[in-house]
Amino acid sequence: MNSLAIELNEILKDTAVGRMLSGFGKRIYFPHGIIAQSAEAKKSARTANGTIGMAYSGGKPMLLPALKRCLPDFEDEEIVAYAPTAGNEKVRELWKKLLLQKNPSLNPAHISLPVVTPGITASISYTAELFLDPGQTILSAYPAWDNYALIFEERVGAVMRGVSFFDSAGCLDIPKIREAVQEEARKGSVRVILNFPNNPAGYSPNETEARAIAQCLYEAAESGADVLAICDDAYFGFFYEDDIYKESIFSLLSGLHERVLAVKTDGPTKEDYNWGLRLAMVTIGSKGLQSRHFDALVTKFMGTIRSSVSCSNTLAQSMFLKTCADESTSAQKTVFFDIMKERYNEVKKIVRAHKYHPRLTPMPFNSGYFMSMRCNGIDAGRLRRELLEKYGIGVIAFGGEYIRVAFSAIEKELLPEVFTAIYEAALNIPSSS
């Protein structure tokens, strides 16, 4: 093993991180190579800087005029210079500040500086690579975002254990979640991904439920198990009901217990409506970690980033800073939020009116971009095809028994037509039994 990896492992050895790192997580390090030497030169090379593989002229990166014309408001460096491996420092600092504003009970001493990644998918993937070995189990809600299976099972060879998160009353099934956590705890460690607002259901817990989940993980830690809780907050902030717990569950987990390692994966992707810019964050939180531990784990993330995409998109980071500094942003976000909430309310009204539909049962929803329905006695794939072919309506079918509707992408005025078609098609297609 590389001596730099050994050094990092030595720093982390008596922590939950050290105990839960995967084989890859133990091996990975960040070399004192091109990136580190070039960062040093950037500060001190007064005469000439011949370290980095970029082309400079007159002290600026060479920039094609056609590219510059697309982006007149940006400095050349903000467009094409490589970003630091862990991200632009200003972006990292700002995201931390925003996290603390959005989650007032978060203790800054318990969290790291966020690391920039090229999308929340990447944040989850890197975390999976660092903390899951082939054959290890990770708990998740069932149904879950389909990319979790690709990341956890196909990419790192782990086993996803889906827990049906909802009881028949439409609340989080805490006893079932507790049982699954305890079973994993008895094996020595618990790995879980929590996604609220949830994809595909569109559910977020109320405060009692959020605290109950935290309590389950606390009990596991107290029983001697190390706990990794990935908080996938992709849809953070799209909360449409008053009783929803308005902070990320990361707030409850990051200061919970020395054995609990919380990893928050989030970013402006959905929150700030910039899906394709590929900019996200990963932030570590644990009561058991001090700054030297955070630095060591951030270094492991840097090695993971360096060995995959090398660094994240510079322009997306520059754009994020400009967007946040722009006076119009906050008001515009409120306008967009209100549009989303109106759509949610419209869907809620329609779904209530079809409460007793024999073939479609809504999953609980109160937040996010989506709502999903369980198909009773009909094949979800068949329903999807019928909707597409006969009505020209696109929805997602998954698991053979669910359909998901992204109301985020449908005008409010169209929602009655869309749902009328869904309910009608579900009655008209032949039963699967």
Ligand X SMILES: Cc1ncc(COP(=O)(O)O)c(C=O)c1O
Angle at 128 between CA 88 and CA 292, to 5 degrees: 55
The mark string for 318-357 relative to ligand X (x by CB under 6 A, - otherwise) is: ----------------------------------------
Q: How many residues bind ligand X (CB under 6 A)?
A: 12
**Considering the complex, what minimum distance in angstroms separates the CB of residue 172 from ligand X?**
17
Q: In this chain, which stretch among 115-123, 135-143, 306-314, 425-433 interacts with ligand X, using CB under 6 A?
A: 115-123
**Least distance (Å) between residue 374 CB and ligand X:** 19
Q: Which is nearer to ligand X, 15 or 283 (CB)?
A: 283
Classify residue 416 by burial, with Cβ atoms within 10 Å: 0-12, 13-18, 19+. Answer: middle
The residue among 145 and 152 lying less far from ligand X, judged by its C-beta, is 145
Span of 114-122, 329-337, 377-385, 412-420 interacting with ligand X by CB under 6 A = 114-122
Q: Which residue in 119, 237, 288, 362 binds ligand X (CB under 6 A)? A: 119
Q: Select the span of 34-42, 119-127, 158-166, 221-229 touching ligand X (CB under 6 A).
A: 119-127
Binding mask of the shown chain, residues 51 to 90, with x at each position contacting ligand X by CB under 6 A: ----------------------------------------
According to CB under 6 A, which residues from 261 to 280 bind ligand X? 267, 269, 275, 280
Collect all residues with Cβ–Cβ distance below 8 Å to 152 and sequence separation of at least 6: 128, 132, 138, 140, 158, 159, 160, 193
**Cα dist from 192 to 102, 170, 220, 248, whole Å:** 23, 21, 12, 15
Positions in 188-247 near ligand X (CB under 6 A)? 195, 199, 232, 234
Note the residues at the interface with ligand X (CB under 6 A): 119-121, 145, 195, 199, 232, 234, 267, 269, 275, 280
